[in-house]
Amino acid sequence: MAKELRDVVVVDAVRTAFGKSGEKGIFWKTRADDLVVPLLKALMARNPGVTPSMIEDSIWGITNQMKEQGGTLGRVATMLADLGQEIPGCSIDRMCAGGLTAIGFGLTYIAAGMADCLIAGGVEHMGHLPMGFMRDPHPRSLEVMGGPTSLNMGQTAENIHERFPEFTKEMADRYAVDCQRKADEAIKAGKMKDMIIPIDVELEDGTKMVADMDQPPRAGATMEGMASLKTPFKENGNVTAGNASGLNDGAAATLLMSEEKAKAMGLKPKMRWVATAVAAVDPTIMGTAPVPATVKVLEKAGLTIEDMDIIEMNEAFAVQALYFLDRFKMKWDDPRVNKWGGAIAYGHPLASSGPRLVAFLAGLFKENPGAKYGLATMCVGRGQGYSVIFENLLR
């Protein structure tokens, strides 16, 4: 028996500060699951009408599901957050888009009538569990994915530079400098305060502090500084630590509901889900995949890129962002794109980056009541792209 899809809304979106991976990182002595727990508690505290009995699932994107990120973290985390034993949970993997896929699954889950309210997010502690940790690729994986560069994300970015030489290192550096500038301005203006949930942490030297500010941003980045950086993925290449996202730790989460449920509870949701799409490309140029994913999601929504008032694009690499902008005939500094800066500044803790994009969209919708539609899009390791369109309900 056919059913009509229900309207689904994002009620709230929160995240931790993002930290640098490694011993100098703010979360070096903090477990990944202990990044999730404060977010779950915050979502409940910030939405007092919501009770644990209403949460019908806890869906978490996690790339490296082992050690502290294993054991079906999505299920255990709600119990660690003292929400009881009655909330189901799961963990899923779509590498960089794991968290955005968790949200996508949650949106469609509710739209299909399988739930009224759930939590979806992503977490990654790349300091404790580095990219590729304990992986055992199939002997034919390099053959089917196009060669060894498909397994190294930095080399896939170099491949884009090589195949599309119109995107130069200077252009990538310029884009990165502008990203850092926008992030610095947004942080100083307090744009992150409503979404970042403070966490008490202990640093490597035993110092205790409250982690409530992103660690990776580099205020004052210059073209001269960018030009001096090494190109670790290719001799005399184009990709550097300056025009790429870093290795990071962090978590982000959303509270999703049917619009009908939110209205019945008297809540004021931030945005309504419009459409979702995923696409795949040659894994050796994985950063190009947001283009077909966005083409597909725009077709599903019956909209155009010109209809997108706000665009949040995960900048795994500057060249990937430049490719996207070029293919949609947008200027490199289009004011709709990453208004508060992107992953080149804030970092890219893999599965948590998608929910971070959603949190940014929610904040930007509130700040720009004239905006109607927003796009969140990101590239994914192994050659995928994921795009979601939301409608602003804070207009």
Q: Which of 34, 33, 42 is nearest to 66 (CA)?
A: 33
In the annotation, is 348 catalytic?
yes
DSSP 270: S
**Residue 393, class by beta-carbon neighbours within 10 Å (0-12 exposed, 13-18 middle, 19+ buried)?**
middle
Which listed residue (125, 128, 161, 348) is catalytic? 348
Q: Are the beta carbons of 335 and 173 closer than 8 angstroms?
A: no
**Residue 169, class by beta-carbon neighbours within 10 Å (0-12 exposed, 13-18 middle, 19+ buried)?**
buried
Q: Are the beta carbons of 325 and 332 closer than 8 angstroms?
A: yes
Distance CA 19, CA 26 (A): 6
* Rg of the chain (C-alpha set): 20
In the annotation, is 179 catalytic?
no
In the annotation, is 96 catalytic?
yes
- Spatial neighbors of 256 by CB under 8 A, at least 6 apart, are 8, 9, 10, 11, 103, 106, 107, 110, 117, 118, 119, 120
Distance CA 155, CA 224 (A): 23
DSSP calls for 187-227:
HHTTTTTTTBPPEEEE-TTS-EEEE-S-S---TT--HHHHH
Distance CA 261, CA 248 (A): 36
Which listed residue (96, 117, 125, 128) is catalytic? 96
Residue 373's DSSP bridge partners are: 308, 391
- Spatial neighbors of 321 by CB under 8 A, at least 6 apart, are 175, 313, 315, 337, 338, 342
Distance CA 24, CA 129 (A): 15
138: number of Cβ within 10 Å: 9
Distance CA 57, CA 253 (A): 13
Q: Are the beta carbons of 13 and 253 closer than 8 angstroms?
A: yes
**Residue 128, class by beta-carbon neighbours within 10 Å (0-12 exposed, 13-18 middle, 19+ buried)?**
buried
Catalytic residues: 96, 348, 379
